[in-house]
Amino acid sequence: MRHVDMVIVSWAKNDELLQDTKNGLDTLFDSEDENVIKFHAYIIESNPEINYDEYNDTVTIHPTEEFGYHKYLNIGR
């Protein structure tokens, strides 16, 4: 089995953007047989009230810095 770490930047400032992130997670985890490839997602979330606890193999990180795409990617790295 291969293990693959993913960094996902999320700016869930409204329900539509939150649903976009959840749809992305659903698509990621459904895309491969977990017996062959196991994904581990690190979600860098700007909204401190949002967690992705309903998904297995995820870690939600809430930076204190103001949202910035590249800044958040570096935090995830």
Residue 76 Cα distances to 1, 5, 27, 59, angstroms: 24, 10, 20, 10
Digit-coded pLDDT (tens) for 11-24: 999 999 999 999 99
As given in the structure block, the two tokens for residue 75 are 């935090």
Each domain of the chain, given as residue ranges in start order, spans: 2-76
Residues 21, 38 contacting (CB under 8 angstroms)? no
**pTM (global) more than 0.75:** yes
As given in the structure block, the two tokens for residue 74 are 């570096």
Digit-coded pLDDT (tens) for 1-59: 999 999 999 999 999 999 999 999 999 999 999 999 999 999 999 999 999 999 999 99
| SS3 category, 69 | helix
